[in-house]
Structure 1
Amino acid sequence: MNPPDITFPPREPTTASDQAPVKILVVDDVPQNLLAMQALLQQPGLQLLTAASGAQALELLLDHEDVALALLDVHMPEMDGFALAELMRGAARTRDIPIIFVTASPGDPLRLFRGYEAGAVDFLHKPLEPHVLLGKVRVFVDLHRQRRLLRQRNEELERMLKLNEVMMAVLSHDLRTPLSAMLMSAEVLKRLAVGDAAQRAAQRVKDSGRRMSHMIGQLLDFSRIRSGSLALDMQPHDLRAVADTAVAELQQAQPGARIEFSTGGDLAGRFDADRLAQVFSNLLGNALQYGEPDEPVRVQLDGSDARELCFTVRNAGRLSDEVLQRLFDPFKTARDGGHDGLGLGLYIVRQFVHAHGGRVTGRNGADGVEFEVVLPRTPPAAAG
C-alpha cells in the first residue's frame, strides 16, 4: 500500500510548545498493519505512537500527554478496541481523545452502536482507502492544532491580565502616599490663603485630589475583583448606621447635597460594613452627579422581610435604553469619552453586592432613576 500524495501543510510555530509534533496513537495487533499505518501517516509535524495491544497502548498513554487522535483496531486478543476505548473514557487525561475504530468486519448495526457507545467519533473499514484515512486524520490534526493554539493564547492572556492587575495594584498603592501629602498641603493652603481667588484655587486642588483618591480606590477594588482577591469581613451591623456613615462622608465633600431618608423594619444584618458603605457612596454619588440639581436624592431602607434587607436610591431624571443596557459595565465613561471618572463605580457596586450573595438592579421608575439593592440578612457563606 503506497502512500498517496497528500501531505499536512506546515504550521508556522508561534511558541516552543507550538513546535511540538502532534501525537497520534495507532493500536493494532498485526505488525504488517502497523507498518502500513506508519507508511501512510509518517510525515513532518506528526509523531506516531504505535502499540501492538491494548495494554501497550495504555502504557503509551501514561507516558504521553496531549494525544490528538487514537486509531484503534477493533479485533485484538485479551483487550479489544472497545474495551480499550472504555478504559480511555474512564480516565480524566484520556477521556477527550477522539477515537476512530478500524475494523475488517462489514457494517454491523450492533457493533457500530457499541463502538459509538464506547466513545468512537468514526469507523474505518479494512482494506483502508488511503485518501479517506488521511482526510479524516487531517481534520483531527487541524482541530488539535487549533485547540493547542487557543489554549496557548488563553494562557498568555491570563498571564498578561495577572501582570496588569499586579501592576495596577502596586501603582495605585504607591500613588496614595504623595496624594495624601498633596491633600494635606491643599488644606493648609486653604486655611492660610488670603483672598477669594487663593481660597478657590486651594479648594480646586483639594477637590481634584479627592477625585483622584476616589479613582485610585476604584482601581484597587477593580484589581482585587479581577484577580479574585476580594475579601469580605462579615460581621453583625445595622444598615442605617452604615448608610449614615456614607452620607456624612459625602456631605462633607459636598455640603450642599440634599439626601432624604425613609426607613422601616429591622435593619440588622451580617455584612461587610466598609464594602456596603462604599456601595452607598457610589450609588449616592452617582445620583447626585446625574440627578436634577433642584431635586433631592431619596434613600429608602427596608427591613420588613425576615430574610432580606433592601435599600433603594432614587434621583430625578431618566436613563436612555442604551445606557440601561451597559449600566454596570466597567470603564463605560472612558469608552464614551467622558472625563468625570473611570466608569467603575456601578461595576464595583454590582461586584460587592454579588459578593454578599445579593442582587442590584437599575431602572427608570415612576419617580425617576432608581437603584435597588437586595441583600440576604445572613449570606450563605456566613450562615451558621
Structure 2
Amino acid sequence: MEEIIQNTVKILIVDDKKENLLSLQVILSDQGYEFVEAHSGKDALRILLKDQNFAIILMDVQMPMMDGFETAELIRQSDKLKHVPIIFLTANMDTSDYIFKGYQAGAVDYMIKPLSPEILKAKVMVFADLHRKNLELRIKEEETKQLNTIISEANRELKEKYVEIEEFANELKLKNAELDAFAYVSSHDLQEPLRKIQTFTKLILDTENDNLPEGAKAKLGRILNSADRMRDLITSLLTFSRMSVKERIFERVTIESIIEEVRTMLDGSFDGKELVIETQLEGEINVIPFQFTQLFQNLISNSIKFSKPGLAPHIIISQKVVKGVDTGMERLEPQSAYSCITFQDNGIGFEPRHNEKIFGVFQKLHEKTAYEGTGIGLAIVKKIIENHNGIITAHGSPMKGCTFNIFIPH
C-alpha cells in the first residue's frame, strides 16, 4: 500500500517561464515525485479539470492574462479541488496587502524568489506526507465502508436465516405436538377394541372350552397372546407420549427414594430372579419425579429381562456432581455443574456398534422370540433425559453387561 501511495504523489507546477519549471523539478527531483507542468493559469485549470489527485500546487503569482491569485480563487471554488494546498512563488512581497491577497485567494504558504532548495524540499515534503496520510485514510475508510457493507449484508442474511430457523422450529414443535397428540389419542382409542378382543376371546375359551377342538383352543390362545403384546405396545406408546407433555415440575429428590418406589412397582415381576441393587450416591438430584421413576423402572426392567441365565441380576447405580469440562463431552457446558448418574449391570450386554441404535423407537437387538418387549423402553429413557436438558450414553459388551451414563443439570 505504501508503494501505491508513494506513486500517487503528484505535484502541479505552474509558471509561464520554462526555466522556472525546470528549476523546481531539479530541486525536488530526488524525492521521487511526479511532476505535471502548466504554463499558465488557464493551462493549470484545464489540467485540474481532468485530474484532481495532486498533493500540492506550486504556482507563480506573476503570470500574463491570468495571474496566480485569480487562478487560486477559481481553484478554491471547486469542491473537488479546494482541498489541494497551494504555495505561491513570487519575488514581490512588498506589502502586507499583497500577502493578505494571496492568503485570501486560497494559498497556504508563500515562498520568496530566489528559492531556498532546502526550505522548498521541507515544505513540499510536509504536504506530500499529509497527502499520503489522507490518501491512506481514504483507502481505509473505503475498506471500512466495504467491510461494513459486507457485515450488514451478512447480518441481514443471518437475520433471515434466524427467522427461517425460528419458523422451522415452531413448525417442528407444532408437528411434534400434533404427532404426540395423535399417538396418545390413537393409542388410547385402540385400547377399547383390544379389550373387547381379549374379553370375547376369554369368554369363548371359558364357556365353550369343552366344545372346542384342541386346534381352535391353541389359535384362540395365540389371539390372547397377540392381544397382550398389543396391549403392552399401546401402553408403551402412551407412556412415550406422556413424556412429551409440557407440564414439567422439577423437584429435588434422592435416587434412593425413586429406586425404592420402583422396587415396589416391580415387586412380583422378577420371574423368580433375586435382584441385587448396589448404590453409591451423593445427595439429591433435580428432576421431574414421575419421569425419573419411569426411567429407572425401564432400566431396571431391562436389566432383569436381559440378565444372564442362572445368574442373579446385579445392578450398580452411582451418582456424583461433575463439571461439564471434566466429562470430555462437547455438548455439555464446560463450567456448568451436572449430576452424573451411572447405571451398570451384569447382563448379556450387546455389541458396541449398537451403542447409539439402542435408543431408537422399536429397536430390538435380539430375536423377537428370545426376549419379549415393545422396543420402546430405552427410547422413553432417552426422551426423559432430553426433557431434563441432559445427555445419556450407552456402552455394551457381549456377555459383560452394559453401562448407561446420564448427565443432567445439577
Length-normalised TM-score, structure 2: 0.44
Larger radius of gyration: 2
